[in-house]
Protein backbone atom coordinates (compact mmCIF):
# COMPACT_ATOMS: atom_id res chain seq x y z
CA UNK A 1 0.00 0.00 0.00
CA UNK A 2 1.33 3.44 -0.92
CA UNK A 3 -0.78 6.60 -1.00
CA UNK A 4 -0.34 10.30 -0.49
CA UNK A 5 -1.93 12.19 2.39
CA UNK A 6 -4.11 13.91 -0.21
CA UNK A 7 -5.51 10.58 -1.44
CA UNK A 8 -6.26 9.43 2.11
CA UNK A 9 -7.94 12.75 2.96
CA UNK A 10 -10.12 12.44 -0.13
CA UNK A 11 -11.24 8.96 0.97
CA UNK A 12 -12.12 10.27 4.45
CA UNK A 13 -13.56 13.59 3.29
CA UNK A 14 -10.96 15.27 5.49
CA UNK A 15 -9.23 18.65 5.54
CA UNK A 16 -5.42 18.68 5.24
CA UNK A 17 -3.21 20.78 7.45
CA UNK A 18 0.40 20.41 6.29
CA UNK A 19 2.15 18.56 3.45
CA UNK A 20 -0.49 16.88 1.28
CA UNK A 21 2.09 14.90 -0.73
CA UNK A 22 3.69 12.96 2.12
CA UNK A 23 3.67 9.22 1.40
CA UNK A 24 1.66 6.75 3.48
CA UNK A 25 2.70 3.09 3.43
CA UNK A 26 1.15 1.72 6.60
CA UNK A 27 -1.15 2.18 9.60
CA UNK A 28 0.13 2.19 13.17
CA UNK A 29 -0.44 3.21 16.78
CA UNK A 30 0.44 6.83 17.42
CA UNK A 31 3.15 5.89 19.94
CA UNK A 32 4.82 3.34 17.63
CA UNK A 33 4.57 4.91 14.16
CA UNK A 34 7.34 5.14 11.55
CA UNK A 35 7.81 8.12 9.19
CA UNK A 36 5.59 6.52 6.53
CA UNK A 37 2.69 5.54 8.81
CA UNK A 38 -0.67 7.19 9.37
CA UNK A 39 -2.21 7.23 12.87
CA UNK A 40 -5.26 8.67 14.60
CA UNK A 41 -5.94 10.67 17.76
CA UNK A 42 -9.41 10.30 19.28
CA UNK A 43 -8.70 9.69 22.97
CA UNK A 44 -7.01 12.74 24.50
CA UNK A 45 -5.07 10.48 26.89
CA UNK A 46 -2.82 9.90 23.88
CA UNK A 47 -2.43 13.57 22.99
CA UNK A 48 1.19 13.80 24.29
CA UNK A 49 2.23 11.33 21.58
CA UNK A 50 0.96 13.74 18.90
CA UNK A 51 3.94 15.98 19.64
CA UNK A 52 6.53 13.18 19.59
CA UNK A 53 5.22 10.69 17.01
CA UNK A 54 7.25 10.02 13.88
CA UNK A 55 4.06 9.42 11.84
CA UNK A 56 3.65 11.10 8.47
CA UNK A 57 0.03 12.03 9.22
CA UNK A 58 -2.44 12.07 12.10
CA UNK A 59 -6.21 11.84 11.71
CA UNK A 60 -7.81 14.19 14.27
CA UNK A 61 -11.22 15.65 15.02
CA UNK A 62 -11.98 19.01 13.42
CA UNK A 63 -12.14 20.72 16.81
CA UNK A 64 -8.71 19.48 17.97
CA UNK A 65 -6.49 22.39 19.11
CA UNK A 66 -2.79 21.47 19.49
CA UNK A 67 -0.99 22.79 22.56
CA UNK A 68 2.43 22.44 20.92
CA UNK A 69 3.94 22.22 17.45
CA UNK A 70 3.12 18.99 15.57
CA UNK A 71 5.51 17.80 12.86
CA UNK A 72 3.05 15.39 11.24
CA UNK A 73 0.49 16.47 8.67
CA UNK A 74 -3.02 16.63 10.16
CA UNK A 75 -6.16 15.30 8.48
CA UNK A 76 -9.16 16.87 10.19
CA UNK A 77 -12.43 14.89 10.11
CA UNK A 78 -15.75 14.88 11.95
CA UNK A 79 -14.88 11.75 13.95
CA UNK A 80 -11.28 10.52 14.01
CA UNK A 81 -12.15 7.08 15.37
CA UNK A 82 -14.79 6.42 12.71
CA UNK A 83 -12.52 7.74 9.95
CA UNK A 84 -9.61 5.52 11.02
CA UNK A 85 -11.97 2.52 11.20
CA UNK A 86 -12.98 3.20 7.60
CA UNK A 87 -9.32 3.42 6.61
CA UNK A 88 -8.59 0.11 8.37
CA UNK A 89 -11.40 -1.48 6.38
CA UNK A 90 -9.94 -0.29 3.09
CA UNK A 91 -6.47 -1.43 4.15
CA UNK A 92 -7.86 -4.84 5.07
CA UNK A 93 -9.45 -5.23 1.64
CA UNK A 94 -6.17 -4.41 -0.09
CA UNK A 95 -3.97 -6.67 2.02
CA UNK A 96 -6.33 -9.66 1.85
CA UNK A 97 -7.33 -9.39 -1.81
CA UNK A 98 -4.91 -12.18 -2.73
CA UNK A 99 -6.40 -14.49 -0.05
CA UNK A 100 -10.04 -14.46 -1.16
CA UNK A 101 -11.65 -17.82 -0.47
CA UNK A 102 -13.83 -19.35 -3.16
CA UNK A 103 -15.34 -22.67 -4.18
CA UNK A 104 -16.18 -25.82 -2.27
CA UNK A 105 -13.28 -27.69 -0.71
CA UNK A 106 -13.23 -31.43 -0.18
CA UNK A 107 -13.92 -33.37 1.86
CA UNK A 108 -17.12 -31.80 3.13
CA UNK A 109 -20.75 -32.89 3.39
CA UNK A 110 -23.56 -30.98 1.71
CA UNK A 111 -27.02 -32.54 1.87
CA UNK A 112 -28.72 -33.02 -1.49
CA UNK A 113 -31.66 -30.89 -0.33
CA UNK A 114 -29.42 -27.95 0.67
CA UNK A 115 -29.55 -24.77 -1.43
CA UNK A 116 -26.22 -23.03 -2.01
CA UNK A 117 -26.07 -19.53 -3.52
CA UNK A 118 -23.58 -18.05 -5.98
CA UNK A 119 -19.93 -17.31 -5.16
CA UNK A 120 -20.12 -19.26 -1.91
CA UNK A 121 -17.04 -20.63 -0.17
CA UNK A 122 -17.35 -23.84 1.86
CA UNK A 123 -14.21 -25.06 3.61
CA UNK A 124 -13.02 -28.60 4.12
CA UNK A 125 -14.81 -30.80 6.68
CA UNK A 126 -17.84 -28.51 6.86
CA UNK A 127 -21.25 -30.14 7.37
CA UNK A 128 -24.31 -28.64 5.67
CA UNK A 129 -27.55 -30.33 6.76
CA UNK A 130 -30.89 -31.08 5.15
CA UNK A 131 -32.82 -28.14 3.64
CA UNK A 132 -30.16 -25.61 4.61
CA UNK A 133 -30.20 -22.41 2.58
CA UNK A 134 -26.99 -20.40 2.14
CA UNK A 135 -27.10 -17.04 0.35
CA UNK A 136 -24.79 -15.50 -2.21
CA UNK A 137 -21.19 -14.55 -1.40
CA UNK A 138 -21.30 -16.25 1.97
CA UNK A 139 -18.19 -17.92 3.41
CA UNK A 140 -18.33 -21.06 5.54
CA UNK A 141 -14.89 -21.92 6.88
CA UNK A 142 -13.59 -25.44 7.68
CA UNK A 143 -15.16 -27.57 10.42
CA UNK A 144 -18.39 -25.54 10.54
CA UNK A 145 -21.58 -27.44 11.37
CA UNK A 146 -24.89 -26.12 10.04
CA UNK A 147 -27.94 -28.07 11.19
CA UNK A 148 -31.05 -28.99 9.23
CA UNK A 149 -33.46 -26.29 8.04
CA UNK A 150 -31.15 -23.42 8.91
CA UNK A 151 -31.13 -20.34 6.68
CA UNK A 152 -28.10 -18.09 6.20
CA UNK A 153 -28.25 -14.85 4.22
CA UNK A 154 -25.96 -13.14 1.72
CA UNK A 155 -22.43 -11.86 2.39
CA UNK A 156 -22.17 -13.57 5.76
CA UNK A 157 -18.90 -15.04 7.09
CA UNK A 158 -18.87 -18.03 9.42
CA UNK A 159 -15.42 -18.83 10.73
CA UNK A 160 -13.88 -22.19 11.56
CA UNK A 161 -15.48 -24.40 14.16
CA UNK A 162 -18.79 -22.55 14.47
CA UNK A 163 -21.76 -24.76 15.30
CA UNK A 164 -25.24 -23.64 14.20
CA UNK A 165 -28.04 -25.95 15.27
CA UNK A 166 -31.20 -26.78 13.36
CA UNK A 167 -33.91 -24.28 12.34
CA UNK A 168 -31.84 -21.17 13.04
CA UNK A 169 -31.98 -18.04 10.89
CA UNK A 170 -28.88 -15.93 10.18
CA UNK A 171 -29.24 -12.67 8.24
CA UNK A 172 -27.18 -10.80 5.66
CA UNK A 173 -23.74 -9.27 6.24
CA UNK A 174 -23.16 -11.08 9.53
CA UNK A 175 -19.86 -12.30 10.95
CA UNK A 176 -19.70 -15.24 13.36
CA UNK A 177 -16.23 -15.90 14.77
CA UNK A 178 -14.56 -19.21 15.54
CA UNK A 179 -16.04 -21.51 18.15
CA UNK A 180 -19.38 -19.74 18.55
CA UNK A 181 -22.40 -21.98 19.18
CA UNK A 182 -25.78 -20.82 17.93
CA UNK A 183 -28.98 -22.62 18.89
CA UNK A 184 -27.91 -25.06 21.58
CA UNK A 185 -30.57 -25.93 24.16
CA UNK A 186 -31.64 -23.29 26.64
CA UNK A 187 -31.00 -24.09 30.30
CA UNK A 188 -34.42 -25.42 31.14
CA UNK A 189 -34.91 -28.11 33.80
CA UNK A 190 -38.05 -28.80 35.85
CA UNK A 191 -37.52 -29.81 39.52
CA UNK A 192 -39.20 -33.03 40.64
CA UNK A 193 -40.61 -34.04 44.02
CA UNK A 194 -37.66 -36.38 44.64
CA UNK A 195 -35.12 -33.56 44.13
CA UNK A 196 -34.11 -34.55 40.59
CA UNK A 197 -34.61 -32.51 37.43
CA UNK A 198 -36.02 -33.33 34.02
CA UNK A 199 -35.08 -31.40 30.88
CA UNK A 200 -37.71 -29.09 29.42
CA UNK A 201 -37.66 -29.56 25.61
CA UNK A 202 -36.34 -26.45 23.85
CA UNK A 203 -38.40 -26.32 20.65
CA UNK A 204 -37.78 -22.72 19.57
CA UNK A 205 -34.88 -21.32 17.56
CA UNK A 206 -32.42 -18.43 17.25
CA UNK A 207 -32.97 -15.56 14.83
CA UNK A 208 -30.03 -13.29 14.04
CA UNK A 209 -30.89 -10.29 11.87
CA UNK A 210 -28.64 -8.38 9.44
CA UNK A 211 -25.24 -6.78 10.16
CA UNK A 212 -24.63 -8.66 13.40
CA UNK A 213 -21.12 -9.55 14.64
CA UNK A 214 -20.69 -12.43 17.09
CA UNK A 215 -17.35 -12.98 18.84
CA UNK A 216 -15.36 -16.17 19.32
CA UNK A 217 -16.80 -18.80 21.68
CA UNK A 218 -19.97 -16.85 22.33
CA UNK A 219 -23.07 -19.01 22.87
CA UNK A 220 -26.65 -18.12 21.99
CA UNK A 221 -29.27 -20.61 23.23
CA UNK A 222 -32.40 -21.54 21.33
CA UNK A 223 -35.74 -20.49 22.78
CA UNK A 224 -37.91 -22.82 24.82
CA UNK A 225 -40.71 -21.69 22.52
CA UNK A 226 -40.63 -18.91 19.95
CA UNK A 227 -37.23 -17.36 19.28
CA UNK A 228 -34.10 -15.96 20.86
CA UNK A 229 -33.70 -12.74 18.88
CA UNK A 230 -30.56 -10.75 18.05
CA UNK A 231 -31.67 -7.67 16.12
CA UNK A 232 -29.96 -5.68 13.36
CA UNK A 233 -26.56 -4.18 14.03
CA UNK A 234 -25.85 -5.92 17.35
CA UNK A 235 -22.16 -6.46 18.19
CA UNK A 236 -21.31 -9.24 20.64
CA UNK A 237 -17.77 -9.73 21.95
CA UNK A 238 -16.09 -13.06 22.75
CA UNK A 239 -17.27 -15.42 25.49
CA UNK A 240 -20.78 -14.07 26.00
CA UNK A 241 -23.68 -16.25 27.16
CA UNK A 242 -27.11 -15.38 25.74
CA UNK A 243 -29.79 -17.58 27.27
CA UNK A 244 -33.09 -18.84 25.88
CA UNK A 245 -35.76 -16.35 24.75
CA UNK A 246 -33.47 -13.34 25.23
CA UNK A 247 -34.01 -10.34 22.95
CA UNK A 248 -31.17 -7.92 22.20
CA UNK A 249 -32.27 -4.70 20.51
CA UNK A 250 -30.84 -2.96 17.46
CA UNK A 251 -27.28 -1.62 17.51
CA UNK A 252 -26.57 -2.73 21.07
CA UNK A 253 -22.95 -3.61 21.86
CA UNK A 254 -21.93 -6.07 24.58
CA UNK A 255 -18.37 -6.75 25.80
CA UNK A 256 -16.81 -10.07 26.77
CA UNK A 257 -17.85 -12.39 29.60
CA UNK A 258 -21.33 -10.92 29.98
CA UNK A 259 -24.09 -13.36 30.91
CA UNK A 260 -27.75 -12.73 30.05
CA UNK A 261 -30.32 -14.96 31.75
CA UNK A 262 -33.44 -16.29 30.11
CA UNK A 263 -36.24 -14.09 28.73
CA UNK A 264 -34.42 -10.82 29.44
CA UNK A 265 -34.98 -8.08 26.86
CA UNK A 266 -32.25 -5.49 26.25
CA UNK A 267 -33.24 -2.37 24.33
CA UNK A 268 -31.79 -0.60 21.32
CA UNK A 269 -28.45 1.24 21.29
CA UNK A 270 -27.35 -0.03 24.69
CA UNK A 271 -23.69 -0.31 25.70
CA UNK A 272 -22.87 -3.19 28.04
CA UNK A 273 -19.31 -3.48 29.39
CA UNK A 274 -17.50 -6.70 30.29
CA UNK A 275 -18.56 -9.24 32.91
CA UNK A 276 -22.04 -7.81 33.42
CA UNK A 277 -24.61 -10.25 34.80
CA UNK A 278 -28.33 -10.01 34.05
CA UNK A 279 -31.00 -11.85 36.03
CA UNK A 280 -33.83 -13.39 34.05
CA UNK A 281 -37.12 -11.90 32.82
CA UNK A 282 -35.89 -8.29 32.95
CA UNK A 283 -36.35 -5.38 30.56
CA UNK A 284 -33.59 -2.86 29.91
CA UNK A 285 -34.56 0.49 28.38
CA UNK A 286 -33.09 1.86 25.16
CA UNK A 287 -29.73 3.65 25.26
CA UNK A 288 -28.73 2.27 28.64
CA UNK A 289 -25.01 2.12 29.47
CA UNK A 290 -23.86 -0.42 32.07
CA UNK A 291 -20.31 -0.48 33.47
CA UNK A 292 -18.05 -3.51 33.88
CA UNK A 293 -18.84 -6.24 36.42
CA UNK A 294 -22.26 -4.78 37.17
CA UNK A 295 -25.14 -6.89 38.41
CA UNK A 296 -28.61 -6.19 36.99
CA UNK A 297 -31.30 -7.73 39.19
CA UNK A 298 -34.35 -5.66 38.24
CA UNK A 299 -35.71 -3.98 35.13
CA UNK A 300 -34.34 -0.63 33.98
CA UNK A 301 -37.28 1.48 32.82
CA UNK A 302 -35.75 4.91 32.26
CA UNK A 303 -33.79 5.50 29.03
CA UNK A 304 -30.36 7.11 28.67
CA UNK A 305 -29.03 6.07 32.07
CA UNK A 306 -25.44 5.15 32.94
CA UNK A 307 -25.35 2.49 35.66
CA UNK A 308 -22.55 0.74 37.56
CA UNK A 309 -22.15 -1.48 40.60
CA UNK A 310 -23.77 -4.66 41.84
CA UNK A 311 -26.66 -4.26 42.13
CA UNK A 312 -26.54 -1.42 39.61
CA UNK A 313 -27.04 2.20 40.65
CA UNK A 314 -27.04 5.42 38.69
CA UNK A 315 -23.38 6.36 38.30
CA UNK A 316 -23.75 9.56 40.36
CA UNK A 317 -25.45 7.71 43.22
CA UNK A 318 -22.82 4.99 43.05
CA UNK A 319 -19.94 7.46 43.27
CA UNK A 320 -21.52 9.21 46.28
CA UNK A 321 -22.07 5.84 47.97
CA UNK A 322 -18.53 4.73 47.17
CA UNK A 323 -17.10 7.93 48.69
CA UNK A 324 -18.83 6.98 51.95
CA UNK A 325 -17.72 3.35 51.64
CA UNK A 326 -14.05 4.40 51.36
CA UNK A 327 -14.39 6.33 54.62
CA UNK A 328 -15.86 3.38 56.58
CA UNK A 329 -12.55 2.37 58.29
CA UNK A 330 -12.06 5.95 59.48
CA UNK A 331 -15.70 6.20 60.59
CA UNK A 332 -15.39 2.87 62.45
CA UNK A 333 -12.34 4.15 64.37
CA UNK A 334 -14.16 7.36 65.31
CA UNK A 335 -17.20 5.33 66.40
CA UNK A 336 -15.03 3.07 68.57
CA UNK A 337 -13.45 6.14 70.16
CA UNK A 338 -16.87 7.66 70.89
CA UNK A 339 -18.10 4.39 72.42
CA UNK A 340 -15.08 4.34 74.74
CA UNK A 341 -15.72 7.95 75.81
CA UNK A 342 -19.39 7.18 76.49
CA UNK A 343 -18.45 4.04 78.42
CA UNK A 344 -15.94 5.95 80.56
CA UNK A 345 -18.41 8.75 81.24
CA UNK A 346 -21.07 6.26 82.29
CA UNK A 347 -18.71 4.84 84.94
CA UNK A 348 -18.14 8.23 86.56
As annotated, the active-site residues are 244
Helix axes 328-347, 315-326, angle to 10 degrees: 50
Give me the residues paired with residue 300 across strands: 284
Report the half-sphere exposure of 297 (CA within 13 A, side-chain side).
7
Task: Write down how long the chain is.
Answer: 348
CA–chain centroid gap for 54, Å, is 32
- CB-CB neighbours of 186 under 10 Å: 25
Continuous H helices in 168-263: none
Nearest C-alpha neighbor of 182 from the set 155, 158, 211, 154: 158
> How far, in Å, CA of 28 to CA of 10, rounded?
20
CB 288 within 8 A of CB 267: yes
> How far, in Å, CA of 35 to CA of 25, rounded?
9
Kind and range of the H or E element at 313? strand 313-314
> How far, in Å, CA of 182 to CA of 242, rounded?
10
Q: What is the widest separation between alpha-carbon atoms in the chain?
A: 98
Nearest C-alpha neighbor of 27 from the set 10, 6, 46, 8: 8
Amino acid sequence: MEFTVQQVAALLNGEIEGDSQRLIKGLAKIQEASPTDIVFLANMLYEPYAYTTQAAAIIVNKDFVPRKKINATLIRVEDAYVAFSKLLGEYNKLTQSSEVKAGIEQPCYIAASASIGENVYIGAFAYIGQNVKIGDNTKVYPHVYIGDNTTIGNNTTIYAGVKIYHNCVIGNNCTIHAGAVIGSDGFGFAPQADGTYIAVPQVGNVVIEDNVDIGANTTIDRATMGETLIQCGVKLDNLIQVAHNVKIGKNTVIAALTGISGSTEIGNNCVIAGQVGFAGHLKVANRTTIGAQAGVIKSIKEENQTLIGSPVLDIKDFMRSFAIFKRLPEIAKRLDALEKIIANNSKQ
